[in-house]
Amino acid sequence: MQPSRIRGGIAGKILYVDLSSKKIWFEDTEKYARRFLGGRAINSYILCKEVNKIQKESGQRVKWYNPKTPLIFGVGCLEGTMMPASNRVSVDSINTFNNGKGSANVGGFWGPELKYAGYDHIVITGKSPTPVYLWINDDEVEIRDAGNIWGNLTRETEYLIRKELGDDEIQVMSIGPAGENMVRGAAIISGPGRSASGSGVGCVMGSKKLKAIAVRGHGSIRVAEPAKFIAVIDKIIKQVNASPNLQPWRRGIIEGKYLPEAPAWDVLASYRNGQDDYVPLEDRERLVGRESGVPSYKKKMMACHLCPAGCMAIYEINEGKYKGTQCPNYWINSTTYSTKLGLFDPEASIRFYYMCNQLGIDGDMCSNTLAWAFECYEKGLISKEDTGGLELSWGNEDSILSMQKKLAYREGLGGLLAEGVKEASSRLGKGSEKFAIHMKGQDTVDPYRIVKGWGFGLSISPIAGKHLRGAVSTPDVTGPPDVEWKPTEYKNIPEVVYWQGIARELEDIIGNCLYVGTWSGTHALSLENYAEVLSAGLGLDLDESAAMMYGRRSVNLEKAFNAMNTDLSREDDYPPRRYMEESVKSGPYAGHKCDKDMWDKMLDKYYELHGWDIETGLPTPESLKQIGLEDIAQMIAGEEA
């Protein structure tokens, strides 16, 4: 459904900044909101449009390091309103690992602040000759010198910018040393502990010599039908408060869901670079046990903007060699970083995650590349001479933290690891490619073999091995009505991943956190809720089917970009080699692996649901036209759009 006009929700402007020419200009959000509403969907469309333009000028595909490559920040169409947990920011560009669609997403307070300043999206192009940061203060937009903050860790960067501008309410997104040194897996950090990770968006930002974007807004966002909107919000808040998962979540994700005895440990853990998917109970207890594990370091809880769940714990280490560490947001993923490396000391694990954020690096990429190096060391493929004297034995915290820093600064072996495991293993050779764990060239930290909906969602993700494009773990995650499925079985997995992938796109279009939505956390919201709140907030008339259409367009935009700028196809939608050839060795699910024949059947069904070509796994002109993306079909074909 394409409304004639959006009457609320959006701020109304898209900010364009060319760092090469220092030119700043604006565009009306309304131009895109009628088709895509907001968030990642608009980001993706602008990326397709701008990259298509560069392709026509150059006659070739566009690389991530091309100064003309856009780096796009977009916030949801309901951020800045009363919508609970509407605080997410989508960051999109070209993926540094495969030149396909690159995307990351992050919560906090930066997104709503951008809306209050009057902008829905920022499109950054060009490259500054010297380090700069962008300062947005309502209608005032300025490119400022960042020579005095270049080289700093992310928390220091935020402090220095606020001090320079004299306002502690300024919200900052910045890169750390990893982004400055163009580590392929560099992230962009928003406030303490919130990371836009994946696809190397921080690497793209570093290539442009852009250290940070600081925002201060003093405006407000109106909604189309205030009385109706408030009534829907009241309904949503009651649903969240009634969720039996709310109170456990408010104790923190680790305590609420991931304690040693939790079933999740038996199905969602990767051990020593994926040599197994089972973590011994004594190691789990040491890492996250209530008495002396990570939960024992919790000092307080925090929440992102307007979030009723408030699942963000702050952990502090007050003595020992990591004294003074104040780590926000140690996550379920953070435990996987540790299990990948055999690291079960809770203080060292907290410190590792903390330094990922300070250095500005995706924890998935950092832990995965280090785990590959540790296995190379274990198998005698690299030596102490290669590591600079470090002993890369599993769980060696000093070596892990030292290699983490070397990676971020591209020092010694870290320079090789900074390229990611696909490239690193290709350069090293010696058979190391077999245990280089990546999807579509990008490092992936998750387990694939036991929970079939998780592994399948990771595999089909257009942004390569990230689980927020439809991966499902347990049946309490919302799926299509009347479809039964079990975590460790293949039956109906394509249908559930298809449905959940579209729902996740819709949530990121709105800007809503998945932990109050359909995917995880409180599991409190539904498609009906989203249709109602979008209708009242933006002035539309949507039912569930019409709301899902926006999600379908967003999924297809990402897949279409890969068709436009890469050779990625069906063969790239299979799991990493290790997970198809080697079975889980231990625990209750020993023997599980990814079966190629079953994967083929799932891929056939998944492509069929989208209307994509079964042989290539790519959108067809007909499938794109059916959802209102005729111009995208023309771009792929090289025609005038």
pLDDT for 512-535, tens place per residue? 998 899 888 888 899 999 999 999
Collapsing DSSP to helix, strand or coil, 63 comes out as coil
Poorest-confidence range of 256-265, 405-414, 444-453, 465-474? Answer: 256-265
C-alpha dihedral, 630 to 631 to 635 to 641, nearest 10°? 140
User: Between residues 639 and 572, which one has the greater pLDDT?
Assistant: 572
> Is residue 3 over pLDDT 60?
no
> Is residue 2 over pLDDT 70?
no
pLDDT for 573-625, tens place per residue? 999 999 999 999 999 999 999 999 999 999 999 999 999 999 999 999 999 99
**H or E element in which residue 605 lies:** helix 596-610
CATH assignment of 13-216?
Answer: 3.60.9.10
Collapsing DSSP to helix, strand or coil, 190 comes out as strand
**H or E element in which residue 57 lies:** helix 39-58
Q: What is the pLDDT of residue 479?
A: 77
Phi then psi dihedrals of residue 120, to 5 deg: -100, -30
Burial class (CB in 10 A: 0-12, 13-18, 19+), 303: middle
Distance CA 235, CA 231 (A): 6
Q: What is the pLDDT of residue 255?
A: 82
Asked if 39 and 74 touch (Cβ cutoff 8 Å), the reply is yes
pLDDT for 320-344, tens place per residue? 999 999 999 898 889 999 999 999 9
Provide mean pLDDT across the span 23-27.
Answer: 98
246-443: CATH topology is: 1.10.569
Strand partners, 28: 13
Domain with CATH 3.60.9.10 in the chain: 13-216
Mean pLDDT of the chain: 95
Alpha carbon separation from 591 to 221, 581, 584, 600 (Å, rounded): 54, 11, 5, 20
Q: What is the pLDDT of residue 641?
A: 54
As a whole-number percent, the residues of the chain with pLDDT over 90 amount to 89
Q: What is the pLDDT of residue 254?
A: 84
Q: What is the pLDDT of residue 633?
A: 97
pLDDT for 425-483, tens place per residue? 999 999 999 999 999 999 999 999 999 999 999 999 999 999 989 999 877 667 788 89
> Is residue 80 over pLDDT 90?
yes
Q: What is the pLDDT of residue 256?
A: 75
Which pair of tokens denotes residue 180?
């400055």
452-637: CATH topology is: 1.10.599
Give the DSSP letter of residue 520. Answer: S
This prediction has a pTM of 0.97
Domain with CATH 1.10.599.10 in the chain: 452-637
Which ranges constitute the DSSP H helices of 251-345?
253-257, 264-267, 281-288, 332-341
Distance CA 87, CA 583 (A): 40
pLDDT for 173-220, tens place per residue? 999 999 999 999 999 999 888 999 999 999 999 999 999 999 999 999
